[in-house]
Amino acid sequence: MLQDDCDIKTKFMTTSDLIIIGAGPGGYETAVEAAKAGLTVTLIEAKHLGGTCLNEGCIPTKCLAHSAEHLREEKDTLDLTKVVEHKNKIVKQLVDGIAMLMKTPGISLVEGEARFVDAHTIRVGNEEYQAKDLIIATGSVSKFLPIEGAHSAGVVTSTEILNLTTAPSRLCIIGGGVIGLEFASIFNQFGSEVTVVEFCKEVLPNLDKDMAKRLRLSLKKKGINILTDSGVKRIEHLENDVSKVVYENKGKEGIVEADVVLMAVGRTARTEIVEDNTIGITYGKRGIEVDENMQTSVPHIYAIGDVNGLCQLAHAATFQGRRALNHILGRKDNIRFDLIPSAVFTSPQLASVGLREEDVTEHKPLVYKSFYRANGRALSMDADEGFLKIVCNEEGRVLGVHIMGEQASELIHEATVLMNLGGTISQLGDIIHAHPTLSEMYRAAVS
């Protein structure tokens, strides 16, 4: 009889129109939009609302970046404990806001690890949930190099470094991508001696080469030691709590000693939920394979955000969720996934949208530039470092914009709007910009 009772509990079933697995930006925002459209939604989260972006990524990193900028501008004394407390306060405020959104009629929030029972059924603990359509939004986790000592004491990921209450005297960062350079900039301003070891010939290999080079030189001027074309071979943790990072550059071995080593070599999709092949979803090293509607190889199951490996940005996940939901509802949209703006919150900032100059191969691109040092507003802000670069085709249509400098992360959106509307250099030149503003650099570039 007891066994029968157990079986009954195990087979408890909740039915909804849509199941979303993962409550990061893609998951929870899609849940809210789906509920507003009249669907009943079961949202399942194994860890915490807001996902990596809110709890361990975008938001907390920018809190530290803001504190670092304030420290530089005001020449304050660093109290990293207060910085972390401020970061935690902001994160909690935003998580609480999401919790309120989860009270939207039609949304049922379930806490726990999700597992597929069949193509329409998910089990969490002893309960099962069924829906006509499903969206996988399980995100990503930090990568580790497959080298000796990668998991030794003294090696941290972007998650752990956010909670340090003392800035390390010496910080070695393995990886010169977005995560690595943001933390390099932050801890440089916090007073750490920072060394970045990057495998590629240039930092930020996915961004415009011109911008990446200039940012590297700028960070070097601020005292950050950047070793490019250098592959880490092993990490040794010494008895005095010092880590020794051994790398190779052009056949020669080098050593970096550090109190803390940050492993910042990217993130990998969390595909565990489909790896047992229970339902036959196709996936690879980059993540779950999807089409333009975010459909997997099982048509009623979608995958959005980091887990599909297309673009590891929170706002990309949000709009991929919107595309998936629109497809479920039979609605059309005009979302341009080739125009996803990105920003690197170093000091100075770097932002980009569209094609890089080196991406344009069918003809020689037209390139226009303007400089912060020639902008009145930038000079008044003591922010004369950097420039704006516009890449166009032969007809003058804007293909890409890249900015390095003050408020680049905000300035990039004028370009994003213009490009979504198919704008040209001629049209840009006719748009009136307020004076004195940083935005005037757009007109200055094409004048």
Task: For 394-419, write each residue's pLDDT tens digit.
Answer: 999 999 999 999 999 999 999 999 99
Q: Is the pLDDT of residue 270 over 90?
A: yes
Q: Is the pLDDT of residue 8 over 80?
A: no
pLDDT (mean) for 146-150: 95
Percent of the chain predicted with pLDDT > 90:
90
**Amino acid occupying residue 386:** G
pLDDT (mean) for 164-193: 96
Q: Is the pLDDT of residue 2 over 50?
A: no
- With 0-12 / 13-18 / 19 or more C-beta atoms within 10 angstroms meaning exposed / middle / buried, residue 262 is buried
* pLDDT, position 74: 67
Sequential DSSP letters for 128-180: EEEEEEEEE---EEE---SSBTTTSTTEE-HHHHTT-SS--SEEEEE--SHHH
pLDDT (mean) for 90-109: 95
Q: Which residues contact 442 (CB under 8 A, 6 or more apart)?
A: 370, 388, 390, 414, 415, 428, 431, 433
pLDDT (mean) for 436-447: 96
Q: Is the pLDDT of residue 215 over 80?
A: yes
Q: Is the pLDDT of residue 7 over 70?
A: no
pLDDT category, 311, cuts 50, 70, 90?
very high
pLDDT category, 69, cuts 50, 70, 90?
confident
Task: For 328-374, write each residue's pLDDT tens digit.
Answer: 999 999 999 999 999 999 999 999 999 999 999 888 899 999 999 99
Q: Is the pLDDT of residue 235 over 80?
A: yes
Q: What is the 3-state secondary structure (H, E, C) of 187-234?
A: HHHCCCEEEEECCCCCCCCCCCHHHHHHHHHHHHHCCCEEECCEEEEE
Query: What's phi and psi for 382, nearest 5 deg?
Result: 55, 40
Q: Is the pLDDT of residue 117 over 60?
A: yes
* pLDDT, position 3: 42
Query: How high is the mean pLDDT of the chain?
Result: 94
Contact 354, 398 (CB under 8 A): yes
* pLDDT, position 6: 44
Q: 230: closest CA among 172, 148, 161, 151?
A: 172
> CA-to-CA distance for 106 and 54, rounded, in angstroms?
24
Give the pTM: 0.93
When comparing pLDDT for 228 and 12, which is higher? 228
> CA-to-CA distance for 256 and 288, rounded, in angstroms?
37
> CA-to-CA distance for 253 and 262, rounded, in angstroms?
20
* pLDDT, position 77: 79
Q: Is the pLDDT of residue 39 over 60?
A: yes
* pLDDT, position 4: 42
pLDDT category, 11, cuts 50, 70, 90?
low
Q: Is 435 a catalytic residue?
A: yes
Helix, strand, coil percentages (3-state) for the chain, rounded to 5, are 35, 25, 40
Marked catalytic residue, from 151, 300, 413, 435:
435
* pLDDT, position 362: 83
> CA-to-CA distance for 14 and 226, rounded, in angstroms?
54
At 92, list the tokens. Answer: 């909690």
Q: 216: closest CA among 236, 233, 201, 234?
A: 201
Burial 15-37 (b: 16+ CB within 10 A, else e): ebbbbbbbbbbbbbbbbbbbbeb
* pLDDT, position 276: 86
